[in-house]
Structure 1
Amino acid sequence: MSQVAAGIPEEVVVPTLVRVRRPKLAITLGLLTVLLAALFVFAPRSGWTTYRLSAADALIPIGEVSIPTAPFLWGVLAVLVALTGWAVADTLAYRTTRAWVPIAYGAFALFAFLTWAGADGLIPVISLFAGALSISVPIVFGALGGVIGERVGVVNVAIEGQLLFGAFSAAILSSITGNPFVGLLGAMLGGVLVSLVLAVFAITYLVEQVIVGVVLNVLVTGLTGFLFGILLVPNELELNRPATFERLPIPGLVEIPVIGPVLFNQTFLVYLMYVAVALVAWGLYRTTWGLRVRAVGEHPQAADTVGIRVNPMRFWNVTLAGAIAGAGGAYFTLVSVPQFNEQMTGGLGFIALAAVIFGRWDPIRATLAALLFGFATNLQNLLSVLGTPIPSQFMLMLPYVVTILAVAGFVGQSRGPAAAGKPYIKG
């Protein structure tokens, strides 16, 4: 019987409070704790794990730190059990677990796994972090393009194609001119061309956005492969020997222990990435442009009523997103590998799309998600060098397993822009 029917006056009707448990995080932490405990029990390692924290010629040498492997592992496992218990208690009490709990869990779990893997070995911390940052650069650029596209209402599945065509364009123009900055502009132009096709079909002709993105990825893969065979292979010295960006250490900052050599001994493209992340984050939340982008992506009808031209706004911002993603493609041929090869992006555009979701359509969080994947990929390389007793097949799976766990286990309930993927027809 309703409260009104029971004789309670309508003006004092109390709404029913519904509490919902969200056990995903607690279950994920519990499973990871069990897996780590099983690893430490059934594949025990002893000795000492040594972490190298600075180079031999560093201005402020820190040297190496050694940790007793087995005692440290069991101590950290106790901390992980406590953090898992915290998440379980929050779930049972219908509370939302604070963000620091999964962050602390991830840091302790990673430290324990590295210590286990590096027993009686040496872990070069600076090389590990620097390599992770290097791998993450194109993913970050792609994720920024994905954030802008989805915030304005267009699902940008074509990030992979934008990265690949950007790498191709950068290689040719940099090879012809001998100037990496011209190659970078060419990469941005290549990303724009792919995004223009996406914008025309998805916005002007109202074609399903995901289908257009998938088709563009296949098209760019085939086109660059064809041009590579008939254009770059026979003219390799003229068209596929691009001038590359050199490292530009920043005096003073590069001498900061641990983080200095990682963050401030980089190429121009990495510094451009820092600026791009800051500008997109600031612009999206602090400027009129950002307000209009978010309005068009959330409620285009309301944006239209206040005079915002929805479809032109979408069109030009998808183009901007393509330019940013294309700049990420330049990293492959102007920094990482000074030569274009077929399918050299290796599916990182799809990882960038996952970073957008993991980051909840926020540029800073998406950047952190991209860095996580880069770290997992470089960790795979380090574990292979250390000779850990892990099957090589699992080593190849590691970056993708980390991505799946992050998106499925740690994100929780997330909602993208309400109008993302939905065409807007005026009137």
Structure 2
Amino acid sequence: MSAAVATGPRAEERALAPVSWRWPIIYAVFTLVALAFLRVGDGATTFRISRAGDFFEIPDVSLPALATNLVLLAVMAAATAVAVRRALRRAPIGWWVPAAFGIAFVLAFLTWVGAGRTTLIPLTTLLAGALALSVPLVFGAMSGVICERSGVINIAIEGQLLAGAFLAAVVGSLTASAYLGMAAAPIAGALVGGLLAFFAVRYWVDQIIVGVVLNVLVVGLTSFLFSTVLTENSAVLNARQSMPDIPIPGLAYIPVIGPVLFRQSLLVYLMYAAVIAAHILLFRSRWGLRTRAVGEHPKAADTVGIKVERTRVVNTVIGGAVAGLGGAFFTVGSGLAFGREMSAGQGYIALAAMILGRWSPKGAVAAALMFGFARSLVNMLSGAGAGISSDLLLMLPYAVTILAVAGFVGRVRPPAAENVPYVK
């Protein structure tokens, strides 16, 4: 009995997981970076919150830059201390700690940028731009989740976005309707998804290689058609068609929330619906259960009568259609004509958002919004004349992507059977 009692605690100690210092170190590094924001002198920063048409006007808020950043720095230091305590206790860090730290860091940066300047910091415009710029990323990330949950790696999101943008521009121009162009975009994405499924599922070609090849194919094909057919007859085949904003009555004029969430185009509202539907269907429906079973253990799924290959093909085509719909943002969703390679690597950032979100619709949306905010912040800083190098500003969204995936993700486990051909 005494021997058992003596060895019990040591066995319990061996069972404890090692202390993870990843989050405390990340918070500490960003807190040290925020110390540089204290060099603001005696200036003040003015934030604009309200927009024209709101139910009531919130006056501009002017804050002393140094005192504001001292308070925000204290918030970041407190969040770092909480992260250290949670790490020592081997407890999960939760969601409110990173949320509070991130908001404090961004506000400190904006306060530093606007200190002593006559330029206002438009918070509502910044948030609305972040949501709009996140549209293709959210659709692309949803496409990746749908495909990879069934075991197919969708590297071809970039090509699906670009194909959707191309067909949306052409159909929208021919019909003089942005809505018909938007409706055509999923067809182009589904075609690219069908090619991916054909080679990856039917002939067991490596899914990553097929995805990269399809991206190159779509870039080359759309660039060729743009340089020849569209350029020669741009008035008919590549005219700008724009989707107007649709304010939601009663909600669109609430300060801050209204302009950001409820004064958007139909494409943004479809994005809301796609995210909700993807989460419910993946985790609360028979289709989602079968999809996840095929992605995790296809042999077991086949044993209970699930058609593994058919499930993967259908999911890949559906995922391609979702990404194609997101591609409509680049043309009819933004009121722009089609341009060569206008997706500009957004498909790869959508993949990063999916990984950062741990193959979950909710997590992928949060990551996509973070990347969209980085792009919106770049646009705001460029217009405000912040005195930051334009090269650094252009690099910011991609630097955020690298830091997020390399530093924040840690160890994640993808679906076990992805990129593994199913052999009966």
Give the counterpart of 1:194 among 178, 192, 195.
Answer: 192
Q: Is the 8 A contact 2:186 2:324 kept in 1?
A: yes
2:373 corresponds to: 375
1:208 corresponds to: 206
Aligned counterparts of 1:45 and 1:310: Cα–Cα separation in 2 = 64
* Equivalent pairs, count: 416
Aligned counterparts of 1:388 and 1:342: Cα–Cα separation in 2 = 30
2:87 corresponds to: 91
Aligned counterparts of 2:249 and 2:91: Cα–Cα separation in 1 = 47
1:386 corresponds to: 384
Give the counterpart of 2:360 among 359, 362, 367.
Answer: 362
Determine if the alignment matches structure 1 residue 167 to structure 2 residue 160. no
Give the counterpart of 2:37 among 26, 31, 40.
Answer: 40
1:418 corresponds to: 416
One-letter amino acid matched to 2:338 = F
Q: Which moved more, 1:273-282 or 1:240-249?
A: 240-249
1:52-74 CA-partner distances (Å, limit 9, x unpaired)? 11124422111211111101101
Determine if the alignment matches structure 1 residue 111 to structure 2 residue 107. yes
One-letter amino acid matched to 1:83 = A
Aligned counterparts of 1:65 and 1:247: Cα–Cα separation in 2 = 28
Q: Secondary structure at the match of 2:62?
A: strand
2:134 corresponds to: 136
Aligned counterparts of 1:409 and 1:104: Cα–Cα separation in 2 = 18
- 1:206/1:104 Cα in 2 relative to 1: closer, same or farther (>3 Å)? same
CA shift for structure 1 position 117:
1.0
Aligned counterparts of 1:338 and 1:19: Cα–Cα separation in 2 = 53
Residue correspondence of structure 1 range 52-63 to structure 2 within 5 A: 52-63=48-59
CA shift for structure 1 position 19:
2.2
Aligned counterparts of 2:133 and 2:351: Cα–Cα separation in 1 = 16
One-letter amino acid matched to 2:281 = G
One-letter amino acid matched to 1:80 = M
Q: Secondary structure at the match of 1:91?
A: helix
Q: Which moved more, 1:47-56 or 1:386-395?
A: 386-395
CA shift for structure 1 position 14:
6.1
Aligned counterparts of 1:359 and 1:169: Cα–Cα separation in 2 = 29
1:143-171 CA-partner distances (Å, limit 9, x unpaired)? 11011011111110000000001111111
1:237 corresponds to: 235
Q: Which moved more, 1:382-391 or 1:140-149?
A: 382-391
Moved beyond 4 Å, runs of 4+: 13-16
Determine if the alignment matches structure 1 residue 292 to structure 2 residue 290. yes
Q: Secondary structure at the match of 1:421?
A: coil
Q: Is the 8 A contact 1:156 1:209 kept in 2?
A: yes
Q: Is the 8 A contact 1:56 1:63 kept in 2?
A: no
- 1:408/1:103 Cα in 2 relative to 1: closer, same or farther (>3 Å)? farther
Q: Is the 8 A contact 1:46 1:70 kept in 2?
A: yes
Aligned counterparts of 2:351 and 2:311: Cα–Cα separation in 1 = 21
Residue correspondence of structure 1 range 294-373 to structure 2 within 5 A: 294-373=292-371
Aligned counterparts of 2:395 and 2:256: Cα–Cα separation in 1 = 28
Identity %: 51
Aligned counterparts of 1:195 and 1:57: Cα–Cα separation in 2 = 43
One-letter amino acid matched to 1:266 = Q
Q: Is the 8 A contact 2:167 2:188 kept in 1?
A: yes
- 1:180/1:57 Cα in 2 relative to 1: closer, same or farther (>3 Å)? closer
Q: Secondary structure at the match of 2:249?
A: coil
Aligned counterparts of 1:262 and 1:35: Cα–Cα separation in 2 = 29
CA shift for structure 1 position 313:
0.3
One-letter amino acid matched to 2:63 = I
CA shift for structure 1 position 96:
3.1
Q: Which moved more, 1:408-417 or 1:182-191?
A: 408-417
Aligned counterparts of 2:313 and 2:22: Cα–Cα separation in 1 = 37
The root-mean-square deviation of aligned C-alpha atoms, in Å, is 1.9
CA shift for structure 1 position 45:
4.1
Q: Secondary structure at the match of 2:232?
A: coil
One-letter amino acid matched to 2:109 = F
Aligned counterparts of 2:246 and 2:87: Cα–Cα separation in 1 = 48
Could you tell me which runs of 5 or more consecutive residues in structure 2 were left unpaired when the two chains were aligned: none
TM-score normalised per structure 2: 0.94
